[in-house]
Amino acid sequence: MDTILPVLPTATDSTLKHTKAQSVLKKRSTILIDTSEALFTTECIVVASYLEAIVPLFYCNYMLIMVHLPSAQYHMEMAG
């Protein structure tokens, strides 16, 4: 008497490769996102530091030039 037995699903090589590939892609995606966030934070810190250093220098140069102009005598903040 021939009996028919059900075939249980098994993981094939292609299924294992597919899940492994998904795992690698997910890990790379996580690394890429973390790196992007770190670069963004670094960029913000660098730009803020640059502005904190450069803007006062420009303002100082501006005031030095403005004090020596002929119209400086009419402005109280530029007297001196």
Q: What is the predicted pLDDT for the residue at 40?
A: 98
Structure tokens at 9: 């699903």
Count the helix, strand and coil residues of the chain and give each as a percent rounded to the nearest 5.
80, 0, 20
**Residue 59 pLDDT greater than 90, yes or no:** yes
How does pLDDT run across 2-53, given as a tens digit for each residue? 787 777 767 676 677 778 888 989 999 999 999 999 999 999 999 999 999 9
Q: Within 10 A of 66 (CB to CB), how many other CB atoms are there?
A: 13
Q: What is the predicted pLDDT for the residue at 46?
A: 98
The answer, as to whether pTM is greater than 0.85, is: no
Q: What is the predicted pLDDT for the residue at 80?
A: 58
